[in-house]
Chains A and B, each alone.
Chain A
Amino acid sequence: MSKTSNNHYDVIVIGGGHNGLVNAAYLGKAGKKVLVLEQRHTVGGATVTEEVYPGFKFLIASYLISLLRPEVIQELELARHGLEIMPLESTFVPLANGNYLADWPDHEATRHEIERHSKRDAEAYDEYARVMKRLAIALRPLLDMIPPDPTSVTAKDLETMARVRGVLNNMTRDDFHLLSRLMTMSAADFLDEWFEGTALKGTKCTSGIIGTFMGPRSPGTGYVLLHHYIGELDGTFRAWGFARGGTGALSQAIASAAREAGVEIKTNSPVAHVNVKNGEATGVTLENGDEYTAGIVVSNADAKRTFLKLIEPKHLPDDFVSDVNRFRIASPACKVNLALDGLPEFTSMPKGKEALLRGSIEIAPSIDYVEQAYDDAKYGGWSRKPFMDALIPSLLDPGMAPPGKHVMSLFVQYASSDLEGGWNEEKKAQFLDIVIDTLAEHAPNLKKILIHKHIMTPWDLERMIGLTSGHIFHGELALQQLFFLRPSPQWSNYRTPIKNMYMCGSSTHPGGCITGAPGRNAALAILEDRP
């Protein structure tokens, strides 16, 4: 294709993941001529719904929404563009002894349920929930902030540091001390300080390890726990919701908002490399050789993919390349989807309480169970008894499966992205069997109603969606790579060592989950530089 003015844009966004689309929509609304280039046949990246098996819609990667910024929903008018989010109201944790632990949509009912296991915990739970809520409210403004450089004395950085200081000032001394400790300790240690019940601690610790290659006893998982508490749905913190039509429907809603703002989206357009001239990004070249030029190039891809694959290292400073090289991104997360000819019957589910099937179902009976699952995987293996966070979307949105049939979505940990000997189809099948066997221990009719099974391992998430190591957060949410350290100390404000080149993916602050925050914050940074 020849270089015509038709191929020139104000902004090119590499990757149509949810953050890329959010970024494009904001820039489009600001009047920029924006092109989004997506390698796959559909936008969404890891935020997609796919009919892998006829009639059944699978959540092949992300599955729930909580941290999506209310600002993004409001400012892009996503409700008008078709986004509907239904809250998940309960959690069901089957236990090995035939007992169970449940979290109900009613506060008192949950208290009574915890009382069944420990009276002391039932009272501590109230206090715990209140403290976590206070921390979430206090930290909330940080999510929407472009991280400052604490070593800089520019007016801008000083002003942002003052805002950070303001956030901390809003906390009581006790809360601040608690926060400092929570940030640096393990989820297990933190929960031990509050609770005695094995099952309660088991289910609570999972917020600290979802998506990370750490166990509940690894320091740093305290922060991840808090990260998952900052999410809110219609003002309710720690609430998770299911988008009607699956998370793919969210991507479609953002894409619709972007298109309305004049953004052009091209699918089946994998980018081969970013074109750099004299230290400035000038555009991109697709794998098919097509070239597009732009005043600004934004990458929605993770830091490793962006700076180690899409850009030649010669254009980058050595210290930055080594920062990116050591960015921790090994991942343990798999996604399993099952097409079912009926509902799983959990032996521990009491009669008359089947409504619990419509919430989260967690296979996490104790901290030990989850820690053991991690231990099995940390030397390049997988859990013999994996942790699972399951959901039956077709009970909330019957459109996910044919009438009377169901879809079950399972988030599964741990299976190492660095599997010994490497991943292949045979190993995928083996691990999928382990997942099904483990779940069938709790729901023995599972194999009888199983119509189709499908797994996305870290290997698949990397080769299909382009996540390095299949990391769902584009890199670990570890203290050494958060806020002004994410993805690299000098380049945490969505800008990069290459002029006119920006990042808008989850490798930047505030990290992973469907938040839209990196996309939005990056757009604000770009508009600061190029109003």
Chain B
Amino acid sequence: MLRLKTLRGALLGAAAMLAAFGPARAADPGVTDGEILIGLFAPMSGQLAAFGFDPLQAAKMWYEEVNKKGGIHGRKIKVIVEDDKCTPTEAVTVVKKLATVDKVFLVNGGSCTAAAVAAQEFVTREKIPFVMLNAAGDGGVFPPTRYVFGAFGGTQRTVGATIMEFAIKELKGKKIAFIAHDDDFGNSNWSTAKAVAARMGAEVVAVERIPPRINDVTAPLLKVRAANPDVIISTAYPAPAVLIAQKYAEFGMTKTPLVQAVQGIPIPAVFAKNVGNDAALVNFYYGSPLNDLTDGPKQQKWIQLYKQYYPDRTPGAFMTYGLPSAMAITRALEKVGKDLTREKFVDAMEATQFDSGVLAGLTAFAKDRRDGYRSSIFIRFDGKTHTLMPGAYSWNGKDGM
């Protein structure tokens, strides 16, 4: 009897000791008193590295800046970088590795939609916050799921809605021709563009859904010309976008404005060189989520900072796209306070709303919203000179949903 009492006493004592000195509950991985571990990934090699290398470096730079100012509630941010090569299988592997081997607190990454969306199932199952880097990520943010945040440069729904609104409002388009790919990107573009046209009373006189690997755009452009639109919109990728601009000039359609979505013109100077015909750009516009031209005064602050961090590298056109996601993360971490858990972080992300100083509009999330950004600006480009068009255009989150 005495022995039992002694044993019970010892167990109670041990429990009391654990309660007093041990953790109050099982802490989430990747957080210590002095550190928050973030898994950062993007395509750092391969042909799509241009989409991710600089944005990832920019996010890293932002975390360093935060660390320089003392970190977040006394904790420094430490990043572990991985390369997903923009492929879904690599992305899933990388995210699993970051979560299970490196035991990061959250994952910040993905520059390509398919790769970012592929990681969604795993992070949702494991309840790991996943904040995309600069992927459009329509498939990952619609419908919204608790642990996934993205679209810091806008979804393809935003691209479709804003380009249509610009064509109608600024270019006074009443008869619109719309060229989009026959894939998920194109579906997203068209779903919102169609709804905006209907709401604003414009008629879509031609809709050409082209394959991403099309090598002759004669047929779609002939049909567009036959429909006699007063504005032509293209949301095509870089190679078809060039073919469209060439054929548009070849068929003498340059009196009709041509508006190209951002995905088709990653570097305007290269686009103009590839089109190789000044006539194609006399009435040409392109969209951008940024608050200025890629090298404009509002972007210079970030470009100069980047050059301080990486003096040997000239930043690419997508560099600043990596900043808003890192900014959103540090704001949410700040908001949670010292007692940091993944669930509290997700709650804080849901309440995040701020002006990044990078993009044309606010970056914002809500309980039922996981796409962070919904605005675009438009730029007139004649092959040499970029002219900002007035105003920013925003998707209302309802059109096409």
**Do the two chains belong together in a single complex?**
no
Contact residues of B with A, CB < 8 Å? Answer: none
Contact residues of A with B, CB < 8 Å? Answer: none
